[in-house]
Amino acid sequence: MSGSSANNQRILVGVSGGIAAYKAVVLVRRLIDAGCEVRVVMTEAATRFVTPLTFQAVSGQPVRVTLLDAEAESGMDHIALARWAQRVVIAPATADIMARLAAGMADDLLTTLCLATEAPVQLAPAMNRQMWAHPATQANYARLVERGVTMLGPDAGFQACGETGAGRMMEPEAIAEALLAEDAPGDMAGLDVVVTASGTREPIDPVRFLANRSSGRMGFALAAEASRRGARVTLIAGPSSLATPAGVRRVDVETAAQMQVAVESIESMDLFIGAAAVADYRVARPAEQKLKKSGASLSLDLLPNPDIIAAVAQREPRPFVIGFAAETERLAEHAAAKRQAKGMDLICANEVGAGRGFDTPDNTLLLLWQDGERALPRAAKERLATQILDTYLQIKQDFPHASR
Protein backbone atom coordinates (compact mmCIF):
# COMPACT_ATOMS: atom_id res chain seq x y z
CA MET A 1 0.00 0.00 0.00
CA SER A 2 1.45 3.37 -0.95
CA GLY A 3 2.79 5.68 1.75
CA SER A 4 2.06 3.20 4.51
CA SER A 5 5.44 2.04 5.76
CA ALA A 6 6.30 4.99 8.01
CA ASN A 7 2.84 5.23 9.46
CA ASN A 8 2.42 5.09 13.19
CA GLN A 9 -0.71 6.98 14.00
CA ARG A 10 -2.93 6.13 16.95
CA ILE A 11 -6.29 5.42 15.35
CA LEU A 12 -9.50 4.69 17.18
CA VAL A 13 -11.76 2.65 14.91
CA GLY A 14 -15.43 2.85 15.85
CA VAL A 15 -17.69 0.12 14.54
CA SER A 16 -21.46 0.62 14.51
CA GLY A 17 -24.20 -1.89 13.82
CA GLY A 18 -24.47 -2.27 10.09
CA ILE A 19 -24.11 -5.25 7.83
CA ALA A 20 -20.74 -3.85 6.66
CA ALA A 21 -19.28 -4.30 10.19
CA TYR A 22 -17.41 -7.38 8.99
CA LYS A 23 -15.49 -5.21 6.52
CA ALA A 24 -14.12 -3.19 9.45
CA VAL A 25 -12.04 -6.25 10.33
CA VAL A 26 -10.17 -5.79 7.04
CA LEU A 27 -9.79 -2.06 7.74
CA VAL A 28 -8.22 -2.71 11.16
CA ARG A 29 -5.91 -5.33 9.66
CA ARG A 30 -4.75 -2.91 6.95
CA LEU A 31 -4.08 -0.09 9.41
CA ILE A 32 -2.08 -2.38 11.68
CA ASP A 33 -0.08 -3.73 8.76
CA ALA A 34 0.77 -0.14 7.89
CA GLY A 35 2.22 0.41 11.38
CA CYS A 36 -0.70 2.21 13.05
CA GLU A 37 -1.73 1.57 16.64
CA VAL A 38 -5.42 0.71 16.55
CA ARG A 39 -8.03 0.44 19.27
CA VAL A 40 -11.55 -0.65 18.45
CA VAL A 41 -14.72 0.60 20.10
CA MET A 42 -17.98 -1.05 19.08
CA THR A 43 -21.60 -0.09 19.61
CA GLU A 44 -23.83 -2.70 21.25
CA ALA A 45 -25.54 -3.24 17.90
CA ALA A 46 -22.21 -3.86 16.15
CA THR A 47 -21.47 -6.75 18.50
CA ARG A 48 -24.53 -8.49 17.04
CA PHE A 49 -22.85 -8.53 13.63
CA VAL A 50 -19.20 -9.27 14.54
CA THR A 51 -17.89 -10.37 17.92
CA PRO A 52 -15.53 -8.14 19.91
CA LEU A 53 -13.24 -11.17 20.08
CA THR A 54 -12.63 -10.91 16.33
CA PHE A 55 -11.51 -7.28 16.62
CA GLN A 56 -9.48 -8.07 19.73
CA ALA A 57 -7.62 -10.79 17.86
CA VAL A 58 -6.98 -8.55 14.85
CA SER A 59 -6.01 -5.41 16.78
CA GLY A 60 -4.17 -7.18 19.58
CA GLN A 61 -5.92 -4.85 22.04
CA PRO A 62 -8.98 -5.18 24.25
CA VAL A 63 -12.14 -4.00 22.53
CA ARG A 64 -14.47 -1.66 24.39
CA VAL A 65 -18.23 -1.54 24.04
CA THR A 66 -19.77 -0.30 27.26
CA LEU A 67 -19.42 3.17 28.72
CA LEU A 68 -20.43 2.34 32.26
CA ASP A 69 -17.89 -0.41 32.75
CA ALA A 70 -16.03 -0.08 36.05
CA GLU A 71 -13.40 -2.65 35.14
CA ALA A 72 -12.53 -1.15 31.75
CA GLU A 73 -12.58 2.37 33.19
CA SER A 74 -9.98 1.40 35.76
CA GLY A 75 -7.60 0.73 32.85
CA MET A 76 -7.60 3.28 30.03
CA ASP A 77 -10.73 5.26 30.93
CA HIS A 78 -12.91 6.82 28.25
CA ILE A 79 -11.33 10.27 28.55
CA ALA A 80 -7.83 8.80 28.34
CA LEU A 81 -8.97 6.86 25.27
CA ALA A 82 -10.35 10.06 23.73
CA ARG A 83 -7.00 11.78 24.33
CA TRP A 84 -5.01 8.80 23.12
CA ALA A 85 -6.65 8.92 19.69
CA GLN A 86 -5.01 11.03 17.01
CA ARG A 87 -7.85 10.18 14.70
CA VAL A 88 -11.31 8.62 15.11
CA VAL A 89 -12.77 6.69 12.20
CA ILE A 90 -16.22 5.15 12.37
CA ALA A 91 -16.66 2.43 9.77
CA PRO A 92 -19.32 1.48 9.12
CA ALA A 93 -21.28 4.51 10.32
CA THR A 94 -24.97 3.67 10.54
CA ALA A 95 -27.82 6.11 9.97
CA ASP A 96 -28.41 5.77 13.70
CA ILE A 97 -24.94 6.79 14.84
CA MET A 98 -24.92 9.69 12.40
CA ALA A 99 -28.19 10.89 13.96
CA ARG A 100 -26.84 10.50 17.48
CA LEU A 101 -23.60 12.32 16.63
CA ALA A 102 -25.46 15.10 14.82
CA ALA A 103 -27.61 15.57 17.92
CA GLY A 104 -24.52 15.69 20.12
CA MET A 105 -25.62 12.69 22.14
CA ALA A 106 -23.30 10.78 24.47
CA ASP A 107 -25.46 7.76 25.18
CA ASP A 108 -22.83 5.09 24.60
CA LEU A 109 -19.04 4.82 24.65
CA LEU A 110 -18.48 5.64 20.98
CA THR A 111 -20.60 8.79 20.88
CA THR A 112 -19.16 9.94 24.22
CA LEU A 113 -15.63 9.53 22.84
CA CYS A 114 -16.53 11.56 19.78
CA LEU A 115 -17.60 14.44 22.04
CA ALA A 116 -14.60 14.09 24.34
CA THR A 117 -11.86 13.87 21.73
CA GLU A 118 -10.00 16.71 20.09
CA ALA A 119 -8.86 14.40 17.32
CA PRO A 120 -10.44 14.66 13.87
CA VAL A 121 -13.48 12.43 13.39
CA GLN A 122 -14.16 10.65 10.10
CA LEU A 123 -17.17 8.59 9.14
CA ALA A 124 -17.66 5.95 6.48
CA PRO A 125 -21.46 5.86 6.14
CA ALA A 126 -23.03 2.53 5.18
CA MET A 127 -26.72 1.94 4.79
CA ASN A 128 -29.57 1.02 2.50
CA ARG A 129 -30.05 3.61 -0.27
CA GLN A 130 -33.46 4.73 1.03
CA MET A 131 -32.03 5.30 4.48
CA TRP A 132 -29.15 7.28 2.96
CA ALA A 133 -31.42 9.39 0.77
CA HIS A 134 -33.84 10.18 3.62
CA PRO A 135 -33.94 13.91 4.40
CA ALA A 136 -33.23 13.16 8.06
CA THR A 137 -30.00 11.34 7.19
CA GLN A 138 -29.03 14.00 4.68
CA ALA A 139 -29.64 16.74 7.25
CA ASN A 140 -27.51 14.86 9.81
CA TYR A 141 -24.80 14.39 7.22
CA ALA A 142 -24.77 18.12 6.39
CA ARG A 143 -24.72 19.04 10.06
CA LEU A 144 -21.77 16.79 10.81
CA VAL A 145 -19.80 18.07 7.80
CA GLU A 146 -20.50 21.63 8.88
CA ARG A 147 -19.02 20.74 12.28
CA GLY A 148 -15.79 19.51 10.72
CA VAL A 149 -16.47 15.78 10.49
CA THR A 150 -14.93 14.30 7.32
CA MET A 151 -16.92 11.79 5.29
CA LEU A 152 -15.35 8.83 3.53
CA GLY A 153 -17.89 7.79 0.95
CA PRO A 154 -20.43 6.33 0.73
CA ASP A 155 -20.03 4.58 -2.58
CA ALA A 156 -22.84 3.59 -4.90
CA GLY A 157 -23.39 0.05 -6.07
CA PHE A 158 -24.91 -3.25 -5.13
CA GLN A 159 -26.12 -3.38 -1.53
CA ALA A 160 -26.48 -6.21 0.95
CA CYS A 161 -30.26 -5.68 0.93
CA GLY A 162 -30.29 -6.56 -2.78
CA GLU A 163 -30.84 -3.00 -3.99
CA THR A 164 -28.48 -0.85 -6.00
CA GLY A 165 -27.75 2.77 -5.20
CA ALA A 166 -25.80 5.18 -2.99
CA GLY A 167 -25.10 4.17 0.60
CA ARG A 168 -22.67 1.32 0.26
CA MET A 169 -19.60 1.59 2.50
CA MET A 170 -16.36 2.55 0.82
CA GLU A 171 -14.19 -0.55 0.50
CA PRO A 172 -12.01 -1.00 3.60
CA GLU A 173 -8.81 -0.95 1.53
CA ALA A 174 -9.87 2.41 0.06
CA ILE A 175 -10.69 3.78 3.54
CA ALA A 176 -7.27 2.68 4.82
CA GLU A 177 -5.61 4.21 1.77
CA ALA A 178 -7.41 7.51 2.35
CA LEU A 179 -6.41 7.58 6.02
CA LEU A 180 -2.79 6.72 5.35
CA ALA A 181 -2.53 9.23 2.52
CA GLU A 182 -3.33 12.01 5.01
CA ASP A 183 -0.64 10.62 7.22
CA ALA A 184 1.37 12.99 9.37
CA PRO A 185 5.14 12.48 9.10
CA GLY A 186 4.96 10.58 12.41
CA ASP A 187 8.65 11.18 13.13
CA MET A 188 7.85 12.12 16.74
CA ALA A 189 5.53 9.20 17.43
CA GLY A 190 5.86 7.75 20.91
CA LEU A 191 7.51 10.86 22.36
CA ASP A 192 6.08 12.63 25.39
CA VAL A 193 6.38 16.35 24.76
CA VAL A 194 5.59 19.15 27.19
CA VAL A 195 5.27 22.71 25.93
CA THR A 196 4.74 25.82 28.03
CA ALA A 197 3.24 28.83 26.28
CA SER A 198 1.96 32.39 26.80
CA GLY A 199 2.90 34.80 29.51
CA THR A 200 2.07 34.39 33.17
CA ARG A 201 0.02 36.76 35.31
CA GLU A 202 1.33 37.70 38.73
CA PRO A 203 -1.40 39.22 40.89
CA ILE A 204 -0.96 42.63 42.52
CA ASP A 205 -4.44 42.65 44.01
CA PRO A 206 -7.68 40.82 43.11
CA VAL A 207 -8.12 42.84 39.89
CA ARG A 208 -4.61 43.80 38.78
CA PHE A 209 -1.61 41.78 37.68
CA LEU A 210 1.89 42.01 36.22
CA ALA A 211 1.99 40.53 32.71
CA ASN A 212 3.94 40.70 29.45
CA ARG A 213 3.27 40.86 25.73
CA SER A 214 3.60 37.16 24.93
CA SER A 215 0.65 35.93 22.85
CA GLY A 216 1.43 32.22 23.13
CA ARG A 217 1.51 31.81 19.34
CA MET A 218 4.98 30.23 19.21
CA GLY A 219 4.25 27.69 21.96
CA PHE A 220 0.84 26.79 20.52
CA ALA A 221 2.40 26.35 17.06
CA LEU A 222 5.06 24.04 18.53
CA ALA A 223 2.44 21.99 20.39
CA ALA A 224 0.36 21.68 17.20
CA GLU A 225 3.34 20.64 15.11
CA ALA A 226 4.63 18.07 17.64
CA SER A 227 1.13 16.56 17.85
CA ARG A 228 0.81 16.49 14.07
CA ARG A 229 4.10 14.57 13.96
CA GLY A 230 2.76 11.94 16.31
CA ALA A 231 3.96 13.04 19.78
CA ARG A 232 1.78 12.94 22.89
CA VAL A 233 1.69 16.62 23.74
CA THR A 234 0.80 18.44 26.94
CA LEU A 235 0.49 22.19 26.55
CA ILE A 236 0.74 24.14 29.79
CA ALA A 237 -0.62 27.53 28.88
CA GLY A 238 -0.82 30.84 30.62
CA PRO A 239 -3.88 32.98 29.79
CA SER A 240 -4.45 32.91 26.03
CA SER A 241 -7.38 33.17 23.67
CA LEU A 242 -5.79 30.74 21.18
CA ALA A 243 -7.62 27.50 20.40
CA THR A 244 -6.19 24.23 21.69
CA PRO A 245 -4.44 22.43 18.80
CA ALA A 246 -5.91 19.09 17.70
CA GLY A 247 -4.85 16.12 19.77
CA VAL A 248 -3.11 18.25 22.41
CA ARG A 249 -3.85 17.99 26.14
CA ARG A 250 -4.04 21.51 27.54
CA VAL A 251 -3.54 22.58 31.14
CA ASP A 252 -4.41 26.22 31.85
CA VAL A 253 -2.49 28.11 34.50
CA GLU A 254 -2.14 31.73 35.49
CA THR A 255 0.95 32.32 37.59
CA ALA A 256 4.56 31.15 37.30
CA ALA A 257 4.12 29.12 40.49
CA GLN A 258 1.10 27.31 39.01
CA MET A 259 3.04 26.65 35.81
CA GLN A 260 5.88 25.17 37.82
CA VAL A 261 3.49 22.84 39.71
CA ALA A 262 1.89 21.76 36.43
CA VAL A 263 5.29 21.01 34.87
CA GLU A 264 6.49 19.12 37.96
CA SER A 265 3.36 16.96 37.98
CA ILE A 266 4.22 15.46 34.58
CA GLU A 267 6.08 12.21 34.98
CA SER A 268 7.14 11.20 31.50
CA MET A 269 8.92 13.82 29.43
CA ASP A 270 11.18 13.18 26.43
CA LEU A 271 11.17 16.75 25.20
CA PHE A 272 10.46 19.92 27.14
CA ILE A 273 9.90 23.17 25.26
CA GLY A 274 9.76 26.24 27.48
CA ALA A 275 8.14 28.77 25.16
CA ALA A 276 6.24 30.60 27.90
CA ALA A 277 7.32 34.08 28.86
CA VAL A 278 7.36 33.31 32.57
CA ALA A 279 7.43 36.39 34.80
CA ASP A 280 10.84 36.69 36.48
CA TYR A 281 9.25 38.27 39.54
CA ARG A 282 6.03 38.08 41.49
CA VAL A 283 4.55 40.47 44.00
CA ALA A 284 5.69 39.39 47.47
CA ARG A 285 2.34 39.95 49.14
CA PRO A 286 -0.56 40.49 46.71
CA ALA A 287 -3.20 42.67 48.39
CA GLU A 288 -6.30 40.79 49.48
CA GLN A 289 -8.52 43.75 48.66
CA LYS A 290 -8.36 46.06 45.68
CA LEU A 291 -5.71 48.73 46.23
CA LYS A 292 -7.22 52.18 46.50
CA LYS A 293 -5.93 55.02 44.40
CA SER A 294 -4.14 57.70 46.39
CA GLY A 295 -1.92 60.62 45.58
CA ALA A 296 1.10 58.93 47.18
CA SER A 297 3.61 56.86 45.21
CA LEU A 298 3.27 53.06 45.48
CA SER A 299 6.10 50.53 45.63
CA LEU A 300 5.69 46.84 44.97
CA ASP A 301 7.97 44.40 46.73
CA LEU A 302 8.96 41.76 44.14
CA LEU A 303 10.36 38.28 44.75
CA PRO A 304 12.14 36.18 42.11
CA ASN A 305 10.04 33.39 40.59
CA PRO A 306 11.29 29.80 40.31
CA ASP A 307 13.23 29.05 37.13
CA ILE A 308 11.07 26.39 35.48
CA ILE A 309 13.43 25.53 32.61
CA ALA A 310 16.51 25.22 34.83
CA ALA A 311 14.56 22.88 37.14
CA VAL A 312 13.47 20.68 34.21
CA ALA A 313 17.08 20.48 33.01
CA GLN A 314 17.98 18.94 36.41
CA ARG A 315 15.39 16.17 36.16
CA GLU A 316 16.35 12.52 36.10
CA PRO A 317 15.87 11.08 33.53
CA ARG A 318 16.64 14.29 31.78
CA PRO A 319 14.47 15.35 28.87
CA PHE A 320 15.85 17.23 25.89
CA VAL A 321 15.31 20.88 26.82
CA ILE A 322 14.48 23.66 24.39
CA GLY A 323 14.16 27.23 25.61
CA PHE A 324 13.73 30.71 24.22
CA ALA A 325 15.63 33.94 24.71
CA ALA A 326 14.11 37.30 23.94
CA GLU A 327 16.87 39.87 23.77
CA THR A 328 16.98 43.53 22.87
CA GLU A 329 20.75 43.58 22.16
CA ARG A 330 23.80 41.28 21.53
CA LEU A 331 21.51 38.41 20.64
CA ALA A 332 23.95 35.53 20.03
CA GLU A 333 26.15 36.32 23.01
CA HIS A 334 23.32 36.69 25.52
CA ALA A 335 21.49 33.63 24.21
CA ALA A 336 24.59 31.41 24.38
CA ALA A 337 25.17 32.47 27.97
CA LYS A 338 21.53 31.79 28.86
CA ARG A 339 21.65 28.35 27.26
CA GLN A 340 24.68 27.41 29.35
CA ALA A 341 23.37 28.89 32.58
CA LYS A 342 20.05 27.05 32.40
CA GLY A 343 21.37 23.77 31.03
CA MET A 344 19.28 23.91 27.85
CA ASP A 345 20.14 21.69 24.90
CA LEU A 346 18.82 24.13 22.33
CA ILE A 347 17.96 27.80 22.62
CA CYS A 348 15.85 29.77 20.16
CA ALA A 349 16.85 33.40 20.33
CA ASN A 350 14.96 36.31 18.93
CA GLU A 351 15.29 40.04 19.06
CA VAL A 352 12.37 41.77 20.64
CA GLY A 353 11.39 45.37 20.57
CA ALA A 354 8.95 47.53 18.63
CA GLY A 355 6.86 45.16 16.46
CA ARG A 356 9.29 42.27 16.72
CA GLY A 357 8.95 38.90 18.40
CA PHE A 358 6.14 39.25 20.92
CA ASP A 359 2.52 39.22 19.85
CA THR A 360 3.34 39.03 16.14
CA PRO A 361 2.39 36.22 13.71
CA ASP A 362 5.94 35.83 12.44
CA ASN A 363 9.48 36.06 13.73
CA THR A 364 13.18 35.60 13.00
CA LEU A 365 15.12 33.10 15.12
CA LEU A 366 18.68 32.11 15.82
CA LEU A 367 18.96 28.52 17.06
CA LEU A 368 22.03 27.69 19.17
CA TRP A 369 23.12 24.32 20.55
CA GLN A 370 26.35 22.90 21.80
CA ASP A 371 27.78 22.01 18.44
CA GLY A 372 26.08 24.31 16.05
CA GLU A 373 23.75 27.12 15.13
CA ARG A 374 21.09 27.80 12.55
CA ALA A 375 19.59 31.14 11.53
CA LEU A 376 15.91 30.95 10.60
CA PRO A 377 14.82 33.84 8.38
CA ARG A 378 11.55 35.67 9.01
CA ALA A 379 8.65 33.25 8.73
CA ALA A 380 5.24 32.48 10.23
CA LYS A 381 5.50 30.91 13.68
CA GLU A 382 3.94 27.70 12.32
CA ARG A 383 6.82 27.42 9.83
CA LEU A 384 9.36 28.19 12.55
CA ALA A 385 7.82 25.46 14.72
CA THR A 386 8.47 22.93 11.94
CA GLN A 387 12.08 24.08 11.59
CA ILE A 388 12.71 24.00 15.35
CA LEU A 389 11.43 20.42 15.59
CA ASP A 390 13.41 19.41 12.48
CA THR A 391 16.53 20.80 14.19
CA TYR A 392 15.70 18.93 17.41
CA LEU A 393 15.36 15.62 15.52
CA GLN A 394 18.60 16.29 13.66
CA ILE A 395 20.51 16.94 16.91
CA LYS A 396 19.03 13.77 18.43
CA GLN A 397 20.14 11.82 15.41
CA ASP A 398 23.67 13.27 15.39
CA PHE A 399 24.12 13.07 19.19
CA PRO A 400 21.79 10.32 20.36
CA HIS A 401 23.18 10.41 23.92
CA ALA A 402 23.01 14.19 24.34
CA SER A 403 20.01 13.67 26.65
CA ARG A 404 17.30 11.12 27.16
Ligand X SMILES: Cc1cc2nc3c(=O)[nH]c(=O)nc-3n(C[C@H](O)[C@H](O)[C@H](O)COP(=O)(O)O)c2cc1C
Which of 171, 307 has the CB closer to ligand X? 171
Beta bridge partners of 234: 194, 249
Instruction: Tell me how far, at minimum, the Cβ of 111 lies from ligand X, in Å.
Output: 8
Which of 94, 363 has the CB closer to ligand X? 94
Which of 43, 240 has the CB closer to ligand X? 43
The footprint of ligand X (CB under 6 A) covers 16-20, 43, 45-46, 94-97, 126-127, 131
- Mapping DSSP onto H, E and C, the string for the chain reads CCCCCCCCCEEEEEECCCCCHHHHHHHHHHHHHCCCEEEEEECCCHHHCCCHHHHHHHHCCCCECCCCCHHHHCCCCHHHHHHHCCEEEEEEECHHHHHHHHCCCCCCHHHHHHHHCCCCEEEEECCCHHHHHCHHHHHHHHHHHHCCCEECCCEEEECCCCCEEEEECCCHHHHHHHHHHCCCCCCCCCCEEEEEECECCEEEECCEEECCCCCCHHHHHHHHHHHHCCCEEEEEECCCCCCCCCCCEEEECCCHHHHHHHHHCCCCCCEEEECCECCCEEECCCCCCCCCCCCCCCCCCEEECCCHHHHHCCCCCCCEEEEEEEECCCHHHHHHHHHHHHCCCEEEEEECECCECCCCCEEEEEEEECCEEEEEEEEEHHHHHHHHHHHHHHHHHHCCCCCC
Instruction: Tell me how far, at minimum, the Cβ of 65 lies from ligand X, in Å.
Output: 10
Which of 18, 219 has the CB closer to ligand X? 18
Instruction: Tell me how far, at minimum, the Cβ of 154 lies from ligand X, in Å.
Output: 10
Instruction: Tell me how far, at minimum, the Cβ of 95 lies from ligand X, in Å.
Output: 4
Which of 106, 376 has the CB closer to ligand X? 106
Beta bridge partners of 250: 235
Instruction: Tell me how far, at minimum, the Cβ of 176 lies from ligand X, in Å.
Output: 20
Instruction: Tell me how far, at minimum, the Cβ of 170 lies from ligand X, in Å.
Output: 13
Q: Please confirm, yes or no, whether 161 is among the known catalytic residues.
A: yes
Which of 17, 186 has the CB closer to ligand X? 17
Choice among 36, 114, 161, 348 that is catalytic: 161
Catalytic residues: 161
